Amino acid sequence: MATIETVTGPVDAGELGTTLIHEHLRTRDEAVHEQWPHAKASGGIPEREHPGDGHAAALEVATAAVELGVRTICDPTAMFLGRDVSFMRDVSERTGLQVVPCTGIYTYDHLPPFFVSRDADAIADLFCADIEQGIQGTEIKAAFLKCAADEPGVTENIEKVHRAAARASVRTGAPIMAHSRPASDTGPRQVEIFLEEGVDPAKVQVAHTGDTDDLDYIERLLQTGVWIGLDRYGLEMYLPFDRRQATAKALLERGYADRIFLSADSCGTIDWFEQAAIEQMLAAGMAKDWDIRIVHEQVLPELREAGMTDDQVEQIFVRNPVAWLAG
């Protein structure tokens, strides 16, 4: 049986169990943290009671996930989101939550001169080293690749990162998770780049596709053979909960249970915003119950009520993660 890399070592694919495909234990700006280590997160959403290094909050959300029956998360915390696999391993060892780490670059356009001056193959070499040798001087290996396109679209820099991820995928067989922005129509172009590079579409997951409820857009992506993430439950500012659910129901009815993931893109802590801004965002309803618990506490009960079967649940949370990661 295939094995899948986690922060505590490789596990048999059959040991993955119930998996949330897109959750972050901690998100922070690594450059700010490196230069001003005293500048702690002013708070996370919703772990505002745990300012600091995010450790307590990460333990709390990991424990909560385990208590809800989650055995594994894929944590797409890449470069620029503060990836720290030693931190992730510590949280995993203390809570028993299996954590699947990634390699990649999370940027909407900016790249440091180091990468501006290098080509996609040189970047792919770094990604491959994380996959084949280990991350940050550890023996922890990346199980998937992460890249992103957002409001600026697929700029020259973004295309380079996508081609680097694609080439690393072709070289190693690792799958790709691509952050997308449906409102900017990024998904189709992202997929096009991967296909141009010879990536098997069954290894590509277009994250945040659930930020739209335009079923034509979604089905056009699905027809290319990729996976899609309905993975931002609780982030009302991109699409309200009820419209996310309507999309999920429609896709289940149309037979796409074997192509979709349900997750929240939650962050144990995130340092992107000042406390006052977080309070304002919550008061304005931009995020609601945005938390690692939301899928099991709110999404699934309602979908089951609407006819989602046990087999579909097993498909989405157990079989799909294995098929994407190890297929």
> Residue 91 Cβ, how far from Zn ion at the closest point, in Å?
17
Torsion angles phi and psi, residue 212, rounded to 5:
-120, 155
Least distance from Zn ion to the Cβ atom of residue 77, Å = 8
- DSSP helix/strand/coil, 262: strand
For residue 258, the tally of other CB atoms under 10 A from its CB is 12
- Of 78 and 124, CB closest to Zn ion: 78
Distance CA 123, CA 84 (A): 19
Tokens of 147: 């890249």
The smaller minimum CB distance to Zn ion, of residues 217 and 272, is found at 272
- Using CB under 5 A as the binding rule, whether residue 47 contacts Zn ion is answered as no
Q: Report the nearest approach of Zn ion to the CB of residue 253 (Å).
A: 27
Distances (CA, A) of 49 to 41, 42, 44: 11, 10, 8
Which residues have C-beta within 8 Å of that of residue 149, sequence separation ≥ 6? 108, 158, 162, 178, 179, 180, 181, 184, 186, 189, 190
Residue 227 CB, nearest distance to Zn ion (Å)? 15
- How many residues touch Zn ion under the rule CB under 5 A: the total is 1
Closest chain position to Zn ion (CB): 265
CB nearer to Zn ion: give 43 or 76: 76
156-172 helix and 120-132 helix, angle to the nearest 10 degrees: 40
The conformation of residue 43, written as its DSSP 8-state character, comes to -
Give dist(CA 237, CA 168) in Å, integer: 33
Distances (CA, A) of 225 to 58, 191, 197, 220, 221: 34, 10, 15, 10, 7
**88 vs 308, beta carbon nearer Zn ion:** 88
CB of 261 to Zn ion, least distance (A): 12
CB-nearer residue toward Zn ion: 43 or 104: 104
- Smaller CB distance to Zn ion: residue 150 or 265? 265
Residues 210-249 that bind Zn ion (CB under 5 A): none
Minimum Å distance from CB 239 to Zn ion? Answer: 15
Cα–Cα nearest to 100, from 140, 51, 143, 150: 143
Q: How far is the CB of 70 from Zn ion (least distance, A)?
A: 16
Q: Which is nearer to Zn ion, 265 or 271 (CB)?
A: 265
Task: List the interface residues with Zn ion, window 253-282 (CB under 5 A).
Answer: 265
In the three-class reduction of DSSP (H, G, I as helix; E, B as strand; rest coil), residue 227 is classed as: strand
Which chain residues interact with Zn ion by CB under 5 A?
265
